[in-house]
């Protein structure tokens, strides 16, 4: 397993880092943190020009058909911002689901729009899996559902709703227009960033677009696992930036006549960040390698997502210990990472869920899971 980057992959990484430095300075990110949509629409043209919104869209539908590694490299750098937005939900999980479950006409309609940013397709599943749950039932020819903790729902043009499969089969999917008069979006309070409740009150099926292609449970699992590992890469980027900030601050902040980095306790906090970053980074890259080489990857993905979620929170906490009072000033930028680390902790399955899944996979087939 070679975890080194090729020249072209290194170029992808450097291009993404340059984008963050140019378009998402700290001052802009602090301002966006208080906005309703949760991102700056001026970022979209540059991201489209770079091909990032269509990285996992097939080239035949206007995307670039990039590898999981290339996609993860971009999101790792976005995580260093951290640059918020609906990208993972729409351009990763949404695009992969349409590619797997859409019939040719549906793919032709939706995927090019996702790649150009004209369509922002937000999946609405409440938990870490697509389970086909519609809590409130509804009329036979309409959809009624209430989904909570849907990220960036205010930025959506469409929602992707999973509904029960036929005779216990895989869930089916329906694309629901965001602006329909029977769709209501409510922003949730608390510390979690840009999280919403989405309520569908008997939305007529005639106003929606069902995905009518055939796909298996394995294809659902792969779409979710690719999205999980991209989230993990984003969290790795956050940990990496927290390490850089903490090292720089400990070298320049002087107390008692010496840089605070000379104090053992400050060094301990920096080491905590290093340990969290290393565990998250190398487990994530190993899972990416297994996905790109079509090896069994589910166990590796769950391990990576668990370590990245826990590591991001640990790194943010340790960074606050290093920075002390200045870190609590929103204009300083450290709270961007604090909030994002909490917001992504449970997204697509928190550490406890991932470890339960990992244990079940190993117990069922210990020699055939990655």
Sheet of 195-204: strand order equals 142-151, 195-204, 183-187
Question: What 3-state DSSP class applies to 20?
Answer: helix
Map out the domains of the chain as residue ranges.
7-116, 121-211, 217-364
Contact 312, 235 (CB under 8 A): yes
Q: How far is CA 47 from CA 40, 53, 59, 122, 167, in A?
A: 12, 7, 17, 18, 42
Categorise residue 132: left if φ over 0, alpha if ψ from -120 to 50, beta otherwise. Answer: left
List of E strands, the chain: 121-123, 142-151, 158-163, 172-177, 183-187, 195-204, 209-211, 254-255, 258-259
Domain 121-211, second-level architecture: Beta Barrel (2.40)
What does the pLDDT profile of the chain (370 residues) look like in tens digits? 666 788 899 999 999 999 999 999 999 999 998 787 789 999 999 999 999 999 999 999 999 999 999 999 999 999 999 999 999 999 999 999 999 999 999 999 999 999 999 999 999 987 788 876 655 556 668 888 899 999 999 999 999 998 877 766 777 899 999 999 999 999 998 888 889 999 999 999 999 999 998 878 888 899 999 999 999 999 999 999 999 999 999 999 999 999 999 999 999 999 999 999 999 999 999 999 999 999 999 999 999 999 999 999 999 999 999 999 999 999 999 999 999 999 999 999 999 999 999 999 988 876 656 6
Q: How many CA atoms lie within 13 A of 286 on its CB side?
A: 17
Q: What integer pLDDT is reported at residue 93 of this predicted model?
A: 95
Name the DSSP class of 5. Answer: P
Q: What integer pLDDT is reported at residue 6 of this predicted model?
A: 86
CB atoms within 10 A of CB 271: 11
Q: What integer pLDDT is reported at residue 368 of this predicted model?
A: 59
Closest CA to 283 of 362, 342, 358: 358
Residues 6+ apart with CB under 8 A from 257: none
Residues 349 and 305: their CA atoms lie apart, in Å, by: 8
Q: What integer pLDDT is reported at residue 113 of this predicted model?
A: 97
Q: What integer pLDDT is reported at residue 2 of this predicted model?
A: 65
- 91 by Cβ neighbours in 10 Å (0-12 / 13-18 / 19+) ranks as buried
125 — phi, psi (to 5°)?
A: -60, 140
Which homologous superfamily is 217-364 in?
Answer: Butyryl-CoA Dehydrogenase, subunit A, domain 3 (1.20.140.10)
Which homologous superfamily is 7-116 in?
Answer: Acyl-CoA dehydrogenase/oxidase, N-terminal domain (1.10.540.10)
First to last CA, the chain: 13
Residues 6+ apart with CB under 8 A from 120: 86, 90, 114, 152, 155, 156, 157, 158
Residues 200 and 302: their CA atoms lie apart, in Å, by: 31
Q: How many CA atoms lie within 13 A of 45 on its CB side?
A: 1
């Amino acid at each position: 397993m070679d975890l080194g980057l090729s020249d072209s992959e290194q170029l992808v990484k450097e291009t993404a880092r340059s984008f963050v430095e140019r378009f998402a300075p700290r001052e802009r990110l602090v301002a966006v943190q208080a906005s309703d949509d949760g991102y700056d629409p001026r970022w979209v043209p540059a991201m489209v020009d770079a091909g990032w919104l269509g990285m996992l869209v097939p080239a035949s539908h206007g995307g670039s058909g990039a590898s999981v590694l290339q996609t993860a490299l971009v999101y790792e750098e976005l995580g260093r911002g951290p640059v918020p937005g609906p990208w993972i939900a729409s351009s990763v999980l949404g695009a992969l689901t349409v590619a797997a479950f859409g019939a040719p006409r549906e793919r032709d309609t939706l995927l090019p729009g996702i790649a150009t940013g004209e369509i922002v397709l937000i999946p609405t599943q409440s938990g870490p899996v697509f389970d086909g749950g519609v809590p409130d039932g509804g009329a036979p020819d309409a959809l009624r559902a209430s989904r909570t903790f849907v990220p960036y729902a205010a930025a959506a043009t469409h929602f992707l709703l999973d509904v029960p499969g036929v005779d216990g089969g895989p869930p089916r999917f329906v694309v629901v227009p965001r602006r329909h008069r029977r769709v209501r979006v409510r922003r949730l309070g608390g510390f979690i960033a840009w999280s919403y409740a989405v309520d569908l009150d008997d939305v007529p099926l005639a106003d929606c677009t069902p995905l009518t292609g055939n796909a298996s449970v394995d294809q659902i699992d792969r779409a979710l696992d690719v999205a999980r590992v991209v989230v993990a890469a984003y969290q790795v980027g956050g940990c990496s930036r927290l390490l850089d900030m903490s090292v720089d601050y400990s070298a320049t902040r002087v107390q008692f006549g010496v840089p605070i980095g000379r104090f053992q306790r400050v060094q301990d906090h920096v080491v905590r960040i290093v340990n969290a970053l290393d565990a998250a980074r190398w487990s994530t890259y190993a899972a990416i390698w297994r996905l790109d080489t079509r090896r069994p990857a589910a166990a590796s993905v769950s391990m990576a997502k668990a370590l990245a979620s826990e590591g991001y929170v640990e790194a943010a906490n340790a960074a606050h210990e290093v920075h002390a009072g200045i870190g609590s000033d929103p204009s300083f930028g450290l709270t961007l990472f604090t909030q994002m680390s909490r917001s992504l902790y449970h997204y697509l399955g928190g550490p406890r869920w991932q470890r339960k899944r990992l244990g079940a996979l190993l117990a069922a087939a210990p020699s055939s899971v990655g």
